Amino acid sequence: MSKMAAIQMASGPNLNANLIEATRLITMAADAGAELVVLPENFAIMGLSEFDKVKIREADGQGAIQDFLNEQAAKHGVWLVGGTIPLAAHDADKVRSACLLIDAQGQRVARYDKIHLFDVALPDTGERYVESETIEEGDQVVVVDTPFGRLGLAICYDLRFPELFRQMAGQGVELIAIPAAFTAITGAAHWEPLVRARAIENLCYVIAAGQGGYHVNGHETYGDSMIVDPWGRVLDRLPSGSGFVLAELDMGNLESTRRNFPVLEHRRMQCAAT
């Protein structure tokens, strides 16, 4: 059986400091036996302004953050889900929030661009988020073959849209990586139910890596990174602070769960394409 890890951080506006912290946590997870490591959303930068990420955006295929991911994966011999990084968009004033999958040789295998953008206001705190001001949405569902099974990629707010994950199920998904940066308010209310629901309804493993803590920009993220099995059981979790969670990926358990409880075969309604 393989081991998978989700890393939790509280990133700030300093790119180099964030990469140093990510290096420390990737090393710890790899030393603990992880073969698949998932970084959180915005691991490389949580700026003072949402426009800070636009300033450090990289061209697809080249740049310091992409080099970092490739080097870390190859150095530790792990498959690395690179949270999200800001890549150039068609709009010169925006980025694509891109999740890159890197193999154990340091080669890119897949790229997923965040589809659902977080444009909301939280009345209890006065916080307002308008990701569409700085992020250009993606439009492709991504599920790829890995040594660990069919892996789907999603990002944070995507978690609230079950039709995305149903499309993944139609493509044979067996485990889903979800880098995230849920707010403290929405995380306390909805994070665990949503993560577990996506695992239960699709009978798959979910590896949810979150930002967790207080950030220099004044925001607080929820954390509670977790790994959930196809029956909805939380195998490991980190409620707060920097660190990682680790669990075994048991494909025999996934196969027996699907065989004995064939809910995916009982579907009668199909989702419209996104």
Q: What is the pLDDT of residues 61-95, one digit of tens each?
A: 999 999 999 999 999 999 999 999 999 999 999 99
Q: Which of 11, 15, 9 is nearest to 29 (CA)?
A: 9
Residue 25 lies in a domain: yes
The two tokens of residue 10 are 């509280």
Residue 273 lies in a domain: no
Contacts of residue 113, Cβ cutoff 8 Å, sequence gap at least 6: 87, 96, 97, 98, 99, 136, 137, 138, 139, 140
Q: Find the catalytic residue in 41, 58, 131, 136.
A: 41
Inside any domain, residue 174: yes
Catalytic residue (choose from 3, 21, 114, 131): 114
Q: What is the mean pLDDT of the chain?
A: 96
3 counts as catalytic: no
Q: Which two tokens stand for residue 207?
A: 């590896």
Asked if residue 274 belongs to a domain, the reply is no
Domain membership flag for residue 70: yes
Average pLDDT (165-169) is 97
Residue 271 falls inside a structural domain:
no
- At 274, is the pLDDT very low, low, confident or very high (cuts 50, 70, 90)? very low
Higher pLDDT, 81 or 274: 81
Q: CA 247, CA 249: separation in Å to the nearest integer?
A: 7
Give dist(CA 254, CA 222) in Å, integer.
28
CA-closest candidate to residue 7, choices 67, 66, 80: 80
What is the arithmetic mean of pLDDT over 15-38?
98
Q: Which residues of 17-38 are buried (b: 16+ CB within 10 A; e: fewer)?
A: ebbebbeebbebbbeeebbbbb
The CB-side HSE value for 209 (13 A sphere, CA atoms) comes to: 39
User: Is 272 inside any structural domain?
Assistant: no
State the pLDDT at residue 272: 55
Question: What range defines the domain where residue 9 resides?
Answer: 2-266
Instruction: Judge whether 156 counts as a catalytic residue.
Output: yes
Is 41 considered catalytic here?
yes
Specify if 122 maps to a domain: yes
Predicted TM-score of the model (pTM): 0.96
Q: Of 3, 131, 156, 174, which is the active-site residue? A: 156
CATH number at residue 204: 3.60.110.10
Q: How many domains does the chain have?
A: 1
